[in-house]
Amino acid sequence: MLYSLNDHGLAAPSRRALLLAALACGTTAAVRAQAQGSAAVFPRAAAVPGGVARVDLGAAPARPQAFAGDAPLLVLGDPIVWTALVGIPLSATPGEARIRVRGTEGERDIAYTITPKRYTEQHLKVSPRTVDLAPEDLARHERERAHQQGVIATFSALPVGSLRMQQPCTGRRSSSFGLRRFFNGQPRNPHSGMDIAAPTGTPVVAPLPGTVIDTGDYFFNGHTVWLDHGGGLLSMMCHLSRIDCKVGDRLAVGQRLGAVGATGRVTGPHLHWTISLNRASVDPALFIDA
C-alpha cells in the first residue's frame, strides 16, 4: 500500500522499505539502526494558521537544522528522510511560506503552502470594566508577557519517541482553539489553546514527558506550569488550583503536575492547555490520539 508523506501522518513506508533494503546492502550498521529506530509518531498535519506543517527535507547523512524566521524548528527522522515540523501561528497569512534549511551542503529555502482556515467568531457585549485593565494590572501583564516570551523561546534537546500526547486531565474538551473573540466590537487575541472542563481539584498530568521550565501565578493565566518536551515543543497549563511540581522537575507522561482550578481571569474551573511549537501556539487536538 502506498501512503503519501503529507496526507495521513505516516512516513511513506514503501519508499522507506525500499531505501532500507538498499541501505542494508551497503551502509554501516549504525546508519541502519538509526534509520530503523526513529519511527517518530508525528502530530496530525494541518498546514493552516494554528496548525502544524510537515515539511520534507529529503535525505541527508546528518540531521539538518531548519528555521522559521529566527525560530529553530523541530526536525525528526533519519538519513532516509528528515522532516521539519513547523508550528504555524494563528496570525499567519495563508499562501506560500518558507523555511530555511542548513545542512552540510549549505543553506536553502523550502517553500510550503499555508491553506486558509476560518475559525469561529464570538461577539460578546461586556461591561467596559472587564475589558479595560487598571494601569497597575496592565503594567503587571506587560511584565508577565515579556517573561513569557523568554519561556516560549526555550529550545532544548529533541524529544525521543512519539509526539502523540495524552489528554492532560479528564473532562470534556472544547473545540474553541482559534476562536476569535470580540468584546464590544473590539477584536481580542484569538483563543490560543484547548479548554478542558473539569471540577476544581481534578489532577493535571504531563501529556508527554517533559521538564518543568516555569511556574508562577500570572494575571490572566493564574497558577501556571510550563513543560518543555524538547525541540521547541512546550505545553502550558493554566488556571490551576495548585501546583505540585517545581522548575527543574523531569516528569514522565501521566505524572501529576497540579490540579484544575479557576485562578487568573476565568469564569469557572477548567484547564487551559496551550501547545507551543517553534514559538507558535498550535491546536492541541492535533497531538491527541483520536
Query: Least distance to Zn ion from the beta carbon of 195, Å?
Result: 4
Label the pairing between strands 121-124 and 95-103: unpaired
Q: Which is nearer to Zn ion, 85 or 236 (CB)?
A: 236
Let me know how long the chain is.
290
Per CB under 5 A, the segment of 42-50, 83-91, 189-197, 212-220 that binds Zn ion is 189-197
Stretch 231-270: interaction string toward Zn ion, x if CB under 5 A? ----------------------------------------
Query: Least distance to Zn ion from the beta carbon of 176, Å?
Result: 7
Given candidates 55, 272, 281, 286, which one binds Zn ion under the rule CB under 5 A?
272
Per CB under 5 A, the segment of 14-22, 119-127, 193-201, 225-233 that binds Zn ion is 193-201
How many Å is the Cα radius of gyration of the chain?
20
Residue 167 sits at φ, ψ, to 5 deg, of: -60, 130
- 10 Å Cβ neighbour count for 39? 16
Residue 121 burial by Cβ neighbours in a 10 Å radius (0-12, 13-18, 19+): exposed
C-alpha closest to that of 190 among 47, 91, 278, 86 = 91
Stretch 195-214: interaction string toward Zn ion, x if CB under 5 A? x-------------------
Contact 214, 225 (CB under 8 A): yes
Stretch 67-106: interaction string toward Zn ion, x if CB under 5 A? ----------------------------------------
Q: Which is nearer to Zn ion, 83 or 221 (CB)?
A: 221
Collapsed DSSP state (helix, strand, coil) of residue 185: coil
Query: Least distance to Zn ion from the beta carbon of 87, Å?
Result: 18
Copy the grid coordinates of residue 16: 522507506
Residues that bind Zn ion (CB under 5 A): 195, 272
